[in-house]
Amino acid sequence: MFGNKDKKQSRLEKIAALVRNATAGISQADLARKVGVTRATISKDMGIVEKMTGSLFYEDDGFVYPFDDGEGYDD
């Protein structure tokens, strides 16, 4: 009724890979299209993806980027 755990795990891994490989960032809309879910699902999944993979992501101007420990950022 609420989906398959293996299918969700696969989706979460795919989201993580897409964000990590998007050198110029990726929008939640593009993630949703590539994974085959709604943007709302992507939004809900992002925190789970971070916990599951240990990767950190951030959003800026509507795009999601992998967090790179601050290299190249001016504070």
- Residues 42-71 pLDDT 10s: 999 998 999 988 888 999 988 999 987 544
Sheet of 57-60: strands edge to edge? 26-27, 63-66, 57-60
Does the CA dihedral 66-14-36-46 come out positive or negative? negative
**pLDDT tens for each residue of 11-47:** 999 999 999 999 899 999 999 999 999 999 999 999 8
Q: Under a CB-based contact definition with an 8 Å cutoff, are residues 55 and 46 in contact?
A: no
What structural domains does the chain harbor?
5-66 (1.10.10.10)
| pLDDT: which is higher, 23 or 73 | 23
> Is 53 exposed, middle or buried (CB count within 10 Å of its CB: 0-12, 13-18, 19+)?
middle
Phi, psi of 25 (to 5 degrees): 80, 170
